[in-house]
């Protein structure tokens, strides 16, 4: 009897681990960052155990287990370890025992100790790993978890599950998934059903921007996912299923600028920082912007956000989109007193129309 020989085809799938890119030309730390930027990326920020293991897999699959590697991080003049934008590195800092020992001001993954962190001179040339940077500060976590475990991991990393408040955040989250090879994968974002409402992890209702897939939510679960099969529109699904997930900053990426400017100059300043005046799309954004003003001592100060009257008298944001759905005008406003939208301190930072030329501090959000 003849043996049936089943020929096995070994298919070797090789894929760059997920948006991270390894560059094998050895450069100094500064030149490595410049090279990342020339490729639309930045030196990777080793901000959690999940991305750390993705970096190590990338090195391993390229035979670089024994090679030191540059990542994002340098010591500033005050001795703090910061990223290339000057923001302090987070709480996840897998230093080798005894490091940093003052042997240099740049951060490497030290091969000799299993690619733990080490401070070393910036001028030494090494290969380096770049990463796509999401404008709103969204981070993809690759290890599949239940919705509640995903949220707990985001909190452990100083964030929350990503809150999808506008077409701009939605597009940033989708770019993050695509750029990391997750264009075909479902992912958790922030949202739970609470009776007839959908609320964030802080209990704030998701309103106005609700990109549900047609026919959803259909009662198939009480947690909010981005459903890959329908272009990552929103879908309700059981919370216990494990999926990759996207975390985002609790301040939604908004930033207060304290120099006072007229409205046009404020927008120009936002743009100079890769941002645009913040768009107040829902009670969630309003609470964050108002909180930012309070936390920085501006509870009693008016501030500019996005919004001006166009030629037809409609109120539009900086992308030219009409402001609809969420319109927290304070009582009696708009009263025709100006063509620009401000947050009026005297009315708890509800909306007011006012002359565009008045100078005020302003709040920006990341631009697409």
Q: Report d(CA 59, CA 43) in Å as an integer.
A: 15
CB 209 within 8 A of CB 231: no
Q: Closest approach of Cβ 73 to Ca ion, in Å?
A: 12
Using CB under 5 A, which of 164, 317, 350, 352 touches Ca ion?
A: 352
| Structure token pair of residue 269 | 């300043």
Q: Report d(CA 160, CA 202) in Å as an integer.
A: 9
Please report which helix (H) or strand (E) contains residue 350, including its range.
Answer: strand 350-354
Residue 355 as a binder of Ca ion (CB under 5 A): the answer is no
Bridge partner list, 69:
109
Residue 282: Cβ within 10 Å count: 22
Q: Report d(CA 28, CA 15) in Å as an integer.
A: 27
Specify the residue, 324 or 337, whose C-beta has the smaller distance to Ca ion: 337
Q: Closest approach of Cβ 186 to Ca ion, in Å?
A: 11
CB 162 within 8 A of CB 200: no
Using CB under 5 A, which of 50, 74, 236, 350 touches Ca ion?
A: 236
Nearest to 341 by CA among 353, 358, 359: 353
Binding mask 280-319 for Ca ion (x = CB under 5 A): ----------------------------------------
Specify the residue, 40 or 231, whose C-beta has the smaller distance to Ca ion: 231
Residue 220 as a binder of Ca ion (CB under 5 A): the answer is yes
Helix (H, G, I), strand (E, B) or coil at 264: helix
Using CB under 5 A, which of 296, 335, 357, 359 touches Ca ion?
A: 335
Using CB under 5 A, which of 39, 57, 324, 337 touches Ca ion?
A: 337
Specify the residue, 120 or 179, whose C-beta has the smaller distance to Ca ion: 120
Please report which helix (H) or strand (E) contains residue 268, including its range.
Answer: helix 263-272
Kindly indicate which of the ranges 42-50, 99-107, 146-154, 200-208 contains the residues binding Ca ion, using the contact rule CB under 5 A. 99-107
Q: Closest approach of Cβ 105 to Ca ion, in Å?
A: 10
Residue 131 as a binder of Ca ion (CB under 5 A): the answer is no
Residue 346 as a binder of Ca ion (CB under 5 A): the answer is no
Using CB under 5 A, which of 119, 280, 302, 365 touches Ca ion?
A: 119
Q: Report d(CA 364, CA 179) in Å as an integer.
A: 25
Residues near Ca ion (CB under 5 A) are 99, 101, 103, 118-119, 216, 218, 220, 235-236, 333, 335, 337, 352-353
């Amino acid at each position: 009897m003849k043996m049936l020989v089943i020929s096995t085809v070994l298919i070797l799938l090789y894929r760059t681990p997920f948006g991270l890119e390894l560059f094998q030309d050895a450069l100094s730390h500064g030149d490595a960052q410049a090279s990342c930027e020339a490729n639309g990326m930045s030196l990777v920020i080793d901000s959690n155990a999940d991305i750390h293991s993705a970096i190590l897999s990338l090195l391993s699959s390229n035979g670089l287990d024994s090679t030191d590697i540059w990542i994002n991080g340098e010591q500033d003049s005050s001795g703090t370890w910061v990223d290339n934008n000057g923001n302090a590195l987070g709480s996840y800092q897998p230093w080798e025992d005894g490091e940093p020992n003052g042997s240099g001001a740049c951060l490497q993954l030290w091969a000799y100790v299993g690619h733990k962190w080490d401070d070393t001179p910036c001028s030494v040339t090494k290969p380096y790993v770049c990463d796509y940077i999401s404008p709103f500060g969204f981070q993809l976590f690759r290890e599949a978890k239940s919705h509640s475990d995903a949220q707990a991991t985001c909190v452990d990393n100083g964030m929350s599950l990503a809150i999808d408040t506008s077409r701009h955040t939605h597009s940033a989250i989708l770019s993050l998934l695509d750029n990391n090879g997750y264009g075909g994968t479902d992912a958790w974002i922030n949202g739970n059903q609470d009776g007839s409402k959908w609320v964030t992890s802080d209990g704030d209702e998701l309103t106005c921007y609700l990109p549900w897939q047609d026919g959803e939510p259909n009662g198939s679960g009480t947690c909010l996912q981005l459903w890959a099969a329908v272009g990552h529109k929103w879908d309700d699904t059981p919370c216990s299923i494990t999926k990759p997930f996207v975390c985002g900053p609790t301040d939604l990426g908004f930033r207060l600028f304290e120099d006072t400017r007229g409205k046009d100059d404020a927008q120009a300043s936002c743009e100079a920082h890769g941002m645009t005046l913040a768009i107040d799309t829902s009670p969630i954004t309003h609470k964050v912007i108002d909180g930012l003003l309070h936390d920085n001592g501006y509870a009693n100060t008016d501030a500019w956000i996005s919004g001006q009257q166009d030629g037809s008298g409609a109120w539009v944001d900086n992308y030219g989109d009409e402001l609809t759905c969420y319109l927290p005008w304070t009582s009696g406003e708009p009263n025709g007193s100006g063509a620009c939208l401000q947050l009026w301190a005297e009315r708890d930072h509800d909306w007011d129309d006012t002359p565009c030329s008045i100078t005020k501090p302003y709040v920006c959000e990341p631009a697409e």
